[in-house]
Homo-oligomer: A and B are copies of this chain.
Amino acid sequence: MKVQSETAQAPDLRAMAHAMRFLSMDAIVRAEDGHPGTPLGGADIATALFSQALKYDPKVPDWPDRDRFVHSAGHGSMLLYSALHLAGYDKIDMAQIKAFRVLGSHTAGHPEFDIQAGIETTTGPLGQGIANAVGMAVAERILNHRFGDGIVDHYTYAYTGDGCLMEGIAAEVIALAGHLKLGKLIWLWDDNQMTDDGPTDQAVSENQQIRFENNGWHVQSVDGHDAQAVAAAIAVAKGDPRPSMIACRTLIGFGIPRIQNDRAAHGGKITKQDTDAARANLEWPYAPFEIPQHIYDAWGVAGQSGAKARAAWQARVDAMDPQDRAEWDRVMAGKLPEGWQQTIREAKQRFVAENTPRPGIQASGEMLSALAECIPELISGAPDLEAATKHKRQLAPFTASDRGGRYIHYGVREHAMGAMMNGMTVHGGLVSMGTTFLVFSDYMRHTLRMAALMRIPGLFVFSHDSIGIGKNGPTHQPVEYLASLRAFPNMWTIRPADAVEMAEAWELGLHHREGPTAIIASRQPLDVLRGGAGSENRTARGAYVLAEAADGARRVTLIGTGSEVAVALKAREVLQAKGIPTAVVSMPCWELFEAQDRAYRDAVLPANTVRVAVEAAVRLGWDRYIGPEGAFIGMEGFGASGDYPDLYRHFGITPEAVAAAAEARL
């Protein structure tokens, strides 16, 4: 397709785009850092979108039925900031544009989730944004099904570069979006045929049109510097029942002669000389950061129209059936329904009353069943591990033909699940949970990071948590994962010791609003250890004394998590039988323990006792709790394939080893 950079178009659109270009390049020059290629190349696309297509009210950025726009090529963040500024988002005022990449500004190097600023999700790591968008589009359809067209009926747009499309996660979500026929999803591909390394044909041969069509997408190609053509294509895309991809052919770095259509445009440094040259080249008579009023006025039209649409929407909301309205308000506020904690308490009581060993993942599956009944906005998924993770299809699948389903068949696509869950969460209105084996959490690891960075909730259940899986062997035995998950700021990693702690972990995970929660579940059965469960959520303390020392002052503190708490309890029996007063501490969550006050922590783990920790995982991090004189009984390397009791003996994770380590230190 020929690039018609100078085709006739309404001059105001071209000028509106140039306003973005100069705001962007002036900000980048001022910051002495940033990626000019995308904002210069994509300005016409963004202008078409923000002025002709996107439904938004800049004065009410969190209007629930706004269209969502995800700038997935996050390195080109000035594209988003300049559009938001011109569109009238107060939080991105000119001072913020001038403070691009300055500590404390809202205009960070890469866009950071801030709905009030018009930033729908954090982007930068390539592929995450487009995948979040697919999750948003799923959320829209689910909520539309529940609350109707008058209340939820919006599009989700994503702006993608070549990088996002090359990442593996892209293939996962392109496949799913097509399979699920997410017709209100529209991707704008900035097809500039250039990446940081040079022309894309160094690494890409596939035809994107065929690729997307083969995945059930509607595809168009347009001149990405013709904003009217882009707007027209968006209008056509809206009329098609499939998700749409619009290939917008552009020149990277458009407008700066030195870098235009060159790899240097991607992230190369630009200077005042470049912006001067661009001003001459594009005939832009305005000073740096000067935007004439008529351009602001032109940019303001869409937002004013959005404000009217929002008022009409508000009238529809106000006219809702009161019960529906209450439910709508509740889910959009992220509040759980009355009674959910009663469900937790009942589960704990039942687990104690039944007193039967359950795999951790079985207990988790039972919690999901019970809570799915009382939390209608709970959406789950387990990439092709539905049976192994005890989903047991309590929930009907969400499909192209049934938007009322609440179980998503992700296929064998863990990374897609994580990113789509994040998309659902930032969309609002849903409680998103996902389950897979702990080893496969590596495939979706960066989505956990993004949730933690955004401080958004997300309930991840990672099962088959250690050598306890047995015969499947070391590929499937996660020995280093607890440490790597505990390294995340803002995330809670909870490894329950029994079904009671599992119920408490679910309560915490659903309660945690400032970051994601990873619940780690065993495959092998765990006895109920918390006989007198009580109503207190003891897991919320992070660690607690499960069995105090008997027959004298405590001399030994054994600390365990998950399936190894039972090992510690048996070791305690050995030591007590020898007259050594020994306590067992269950420590399901380090992060929550660290949040307790010093007195509590010292009481649970007294420094003047011999401390021995036991966990079927690597030692990293445990020295903090056992001190220099303590011992750690766990894994020193990867696991092995074999029957799991054999493995525990083989690797020396036994009550006898724990007791011996304690005795040796007395």
Contacts and interface: CB of A to CB of B under 8 A. Distances in A.
Nearest to A480: B487
B620 A623 contact: no
Interface string A158-185: 0000111011111110011011000000
Residue of A33, A385, A443, A636 with most chain B CB atoms under a 10 A cut-off:
A443
A489 B483 contact: no
Interface in A262-293: 263, 267
A267 B176 CA distance: 24
A203 B216 contact: no
Contacts of A643: 102-103
A635 B488 CA distance: 11
A118 interface: no
Given A171-B168, A409-B197, A472 B109 contact: yes
Contacts of A476: 109-110, 124-125
A204 to B, nearest CB: 6
B104 A642 contact: yes
A410 B203 contact: yes
A125 B205 contact: no
Nearest to A169: B168
A178 B200 CA distance: 15
Nearest to A411: B203
Nearest to A31: B471
Contacts of A195: 384, 411-412
Contacts of A387: 196-197, 263
A365 interface: no
A267 to B, nearest CB: 7
A36 to B, nearest CB: 14
Contacts of A410: 203
Contacts of A124: 472-473, 475-476
Contacts of A638: 452-453, 489-490
Contacts of A449: 442, 480
A33 B439 CA distance: 19
A102 B642 contact: yes
B205 A179 contact: yes
Nearest to A491: B480
A647 B481 CA distance: 29
Nearest to A34: B471
Interface stretch (A206-214, A222-230, A504-512, A568-576): A206-214
A214 B216 contact: no
Contact of A620 (B206, B452, B486): B486
Interface residues of A, number: 109
A640 interface: yes
Given A175-B205, A203-B410, A267-B388, A110 B472 contact: yes
Interface string A457-474: 000000000000011111
Interface string A25-47: 00000010110000000000000
Interface string A588-609: 0000000000000000000100
Instruction: Report copies per complex.
Output: 2
Interface in A82-117: 101-105, 108-110, 112
A207 B388 CA distance: 28
Nearest to A162: B412
A117 to B, nearest CB: 14
A397 interface: yes
Nearest to A128: B475
A166 B105 CA distance: 40
A171 to B, nearest CB: 3
A244 to B, nearest CB: 16
B204 A179 contact: yes
Interface string A403-428: 00000011111111000000000000
B474 A103 contact: no
A326 to B, nearest CB: 35
A74 interface: yes
Interface in A134-173: 162-164, 166-172
Interface in A629-657: 635-638, 640-643, 646-647, 650
A126 interface: yes
A412 B628 contact: no
A599 to B, nearest CB: 16
Nearest to A207: B214
A629 to B, nearest CB: 10
7 nearest A-B residue pairs (beta carbon): A168-B168, A103-B642, A203-B411, A171-B171, A124-B475, A108-B641, A109-B473
Given A167-B172, A484-B487, 9 more contacts: A102-B642, A105-B641, A108-B474, A109-B475, A125-B442, A168-B169, A211-B211, A214-B214, A263-B387
28 contacts: A33-B471, A103-B642, A103-B643, A109-B476, A110-B472, A110-B641, A112-B475, A125-B475, A166-B384, A168-B171, A168-B413, A178-B205, A178-B206, A179-B205, A196-B387, A197-B386, A202-B411, A203-B412, A207-B214, A211-B211, A211-B214, A214-B214, A483-B621, A484-B484, A487-B618, A489-B636, A489-B638, A621-B623
Interface of A: 31, 33-34, 74-75, 101-105, 108-110, 112, 122-126, 162-164, 166-172, 175-176, 178-179, 195-197, 200, 202-207, 210-211, 214-216, 263, 267, 384-388, 397, 409-416, 439-440, 442-443, 445-446, 449, 452-453, 470-476, 479-481, 483-484, 486-490, 607, 618, 620-621, 623-624, 627-628, 635-638, 640-643, 646-647, 650
